[in-house]
Amino acid sequence: MSDLDPQVPAPEAPAGSAPPPAAVRSEMSDGEWHRMHPLSPLLRGGLTLLVILGILVANLRDRLITFFLPENFRYDEEDPVDFVLQNGIALQAIVVVAVGLVILIALFWTAWRFHTFRITGDEVEVRSGVLFRTHRRAPLDRVQGVNLTRPALARLVGLAKLEVVGAGLDANVKLEYLSTRNAETVRGDILRLASGHRKKDAAVRVAPGGAPLPTRIGAGIGEIIAGVDEDEAEPESIVRVPMSRLILAGLLSGSTIWFILVVVAAIVGLVLQPIWIIPALGASIPAAIGFGAYAIRQFIRTVRYSIAPSSAGVRVTFGLLTTVTETLPPGRVHAVDIRQPILWRWGGWYRIRVNKLSGRSASDTSAAQMGDVLPIGTQADVERVLRLLLPSIPIDAALLGAGLKGPRDGDGYTTSSPRARVIDPLTWRRNGILVTPQAVLMRTGRLWPKLTILPLARLQSVRLSQGPLDRRLGLATITGHTVMGPVSGTVESLDHVQAYEQWNAITAAAVAAASEETAGAADEEVSDAAPVAPSSDTAPVAPSLTPPSLTPPPPVSPQMLPPEQP
């Protein structure tokens, strides 16, 4: 079956400009409206509808037969087929089933008929709905990437879906479903067109002599892709996760600890009070099922994991039944979290999570699906992955070791004050913060050690806060804010004077890093763009992006947080 339909009616909206023929390879990227694969309605919700109808019929068949058939027909919990044959209503039953199938097929056909998409030189558009129409657009100059997902049922019939990731909340546009071959080709076309828009925008911003016009300071928020993923073959993964390690890590995960605690509590309760055997079993069995299902789901998600460099960024693939392939372009990673569960210390294993621009709404449960970019790996694996995710941040083995296994003498971290032992007796010696020219490193946790890396060019804000007890002890907390995600950068129980100095240092370093990145991106774009003559009545003025000078902090009282500088 082909995704193309030459009889697609003319679009209601004005036709967009067709992409340049040299930039596209698929005949579906011609600026015209095309329909999804004919099986799309079935995969998008048709199977769920069929299951619901089956459950309703199975549970309400007695009432349905009594309601629709005359009283002379008796139905005494017989098999439906025997009932039809014994009462001589086979023809009527066949007619009812046929009418139901025709109605169902008509609904699917209508949904497919009104679900169209087109790729123009400026945007990707998708229209759907019959009674309630939906029209979504993803401007190519705001595209962050294109994810390719192959659910288990879709893979059986050779289909896949694309998700065009936009720079904003709930900004993604989904193409569900296309044949796998068409999906891969269309994905490359969208990435190629988005990359072309980046160069075109650079040409518009160039003034005479090659001086860049004013550009945004928050380069990380709306960063678009810097390359096109044109690799013919799947790149080789830089990390190999043996099956034995996956199984053992699942058994040593946090869910296993909770499961053991629940079982121990149930056994202790039965020994002390045998009368509680029924409530204990009633609580233990659902808990065991829940933990078991979670462990199996995590295992299935991490099987076939791979991470490799590609021409467009870092390509991450995972999943046994549902395979997800996502490319993380440069500038899309806003925070990195490296942590080690307590039982993983035996194997020296770590997990890496990231905050990235996902384009999904906050209520979308799949937004955290790609939070783990390294489900389990050694410290050497962590170093290799960090070089891919944060190529501009030099993180060597010594710096990483100090963050994961510190504190160490002379590691450069500003640690918690000894006064913090009152409220943080376990981790006050380990808590620390280190500001480098490219990133902020936050080290926390004793039993579950964690190292958070916040690239300064992606940092949205930094907060200095105190609670009542912190003020009493002369302590403060520093929190770095990035885009939403599973990673949170916070260091507590710092001396309030040192925290204020670190807050000033982070502010200045973040402004400098954003300015340097913006200037570097502008210089790179200028080298590829042709100068555009400005109009005669305007004169571009380049803004000053140098970080403001910071005065030393004023004398502070040990009982209160230093005031913010203007």
pLDDT value of residue 343: 85
Q: Is the pLDDT higher at 216 or at 14?
A: 14
Distance CA 80, CA 62 (A): 10
177-181, 283-287, 452-456: which range is least confident on average?
283-287
pLDDT value of residue 497: 93
Three-state DSSP state, 117: strand
Distance CA 534, CA 296 (A): 61
Mean pLDDT: which of 36-45, 282-291, 409-418 is highest? 409-418
Q: Which residue has the tokens 């008509």?
A: 106
Distance CA 270, CA 277 (A): 6
pLDDT tier at 103 (50, 70, 90 boundaries)?
confident
pLDDT tens string 290-313: 777 777 777 888 888 888 887 777
pLDDT at 556 over 50: no
Please provide the DSSP assignment of 182-199 as one string: HHHHHHHHHHHHHHHHHH
Q: DSSP secondary-structure letter at 320?
A: S
pLDDT tens string 507-517: 999 988 888 77
Whether residue 198 contacts residue 215, with contact meaning beta carbons closer than 8 Å, is answered with: no
pLDDT tier at 451 (50, 70, 90 boundaries)?
very high
pLDDT tens string 259-293: 777 777 777 766 776 666 666 666 666 766 777 77
Please provide the DSSP assignment of 481-495 as one string: E-SSSS--EEEEEEE
Mean model confidence pLDDT for the chain: 74
Three-state DSSP state, 38: coil
pLDDT value of residue 313: 76
Q: Which residue has the tokens 């060597």?
A: 396
Chain centre to alpha carbon of residue 78: 51
Distance CA 435, CA 485 (A): 22
Whether residue 28 contacts residue 119, with contact meaning beta carbons closer than 8 Å, is answered with: yes
Three-state DSSP state, 263: helix
Query: In one letter, which amino acid is 224?
Result: I
Q: DSSP secondary-structure letter at 447?
A: S
Distance CA 377, CA 237 (A): 13
pLDDT at 558 over 50: no
pLDDT at 566 over 50: no
What contacts 340, CB < 8 A, 6 or more positions away? 349, 350, 351, 404, 448, 449, 450
pTM over 0.85: no
pLDDT at 453 over 90: yes
